[in-house]
Amino acid sequence: MWGRLVERVRAAFTHALAASIAGALAFWAARLLYGHQQPVFAAITAVICLAPGIPNHLRQGFNLLIGVTIGILVGELIFMIPFDFGEFRIALAIFAAMLVAAMPGLAPVVSIQAGASALLVMVMGPTTGGIVRFLDVIVGVSIGAAFALAFFRRRPDDKA
C-alpha cells in the first residue's frame, strides 16, 4: 500500500511542481501584459496543460485553446439574442458550444472547455468571459507549452 502511494507521488511530483510554478507565472504574466487584476484563467489554463497524467501536454494546450475559442464564439453569438430567456439561454449556449466542439472528434477537454467558456460568456458577459478570458488562456497555454517543451518533451532516445 505505501509503495503504491509513494510511486504515485513520485510520478505526479514533477508535473504538479511544474503546473504550480507555471500557474503562478501565467497569473503574473497576464497581469503584467494585460493589466488584468485577477487573471485566474491564465493560471488555470497552465495547470490544465501540465496536470499529472496528461499524456501530451502540447496537445492538451492546443485542444484547450480550441475549446475555449469555440465556447467564446458560440457564447457571444447566443449572448446577442435580443430576448433574455434566463437559464434557457445559458443551457442553449452550453449545449450548442459542446455540440460544435464535439464535431471534430477531438479530446474531451475541447467540449468541456467549450461548454465552460460559453457558460462564462453568458454569466460574466462577453467582455469578461470572452476576450479577457481568451487573452488569459493564450498566456496560460503559451507558458504551459513552454514548460512542457522544457521539461516533459520525449527525446528520441526515450522509450515509449
Q: What confidence score (pLDDT) does residue 155 get?
A: 54
Cα–Cα distance for residue pair 77/142, rounded to 1 Å: 27
Q: In which domain, by residue range, is 23 found?
A: 2-151
Asked if the structure places residue 24 within a domain, the reply is: yes
Asked if the structure places residue 157 within a domain, the reply is: no
Asked if the structure places residue 37 within a domain, the reply is: yes
Q: What confidence score (pLDDT) does residue 160 get?
A: 47
- Residue 17: CB atoms within 10 A of its CB come to 13
Number of domains in the chain: 1
Q: What confidence score (pLDDT) does residue 123 get?
A: 87
Chain centroid to Cα 60, Å, comes to 8
Cα–Cα distance for residue pair 38/35, rounded to 1 Å: 9
Smallest Cα–Cα separation from 107: which of 148, 56, 146, 141? 56
Q: Which residues of the chain have pLDDT under 70?
A: 129, 154-160
* Inter-residue contact 52 to 15 (CB < 8 Å): yes
Cα–Cα distance for residue pair 77/91, rounded to 1 Å: 14
For 7-22, what is each residue's pLDDT tens digit?
A: 888 888 989 999 999 9
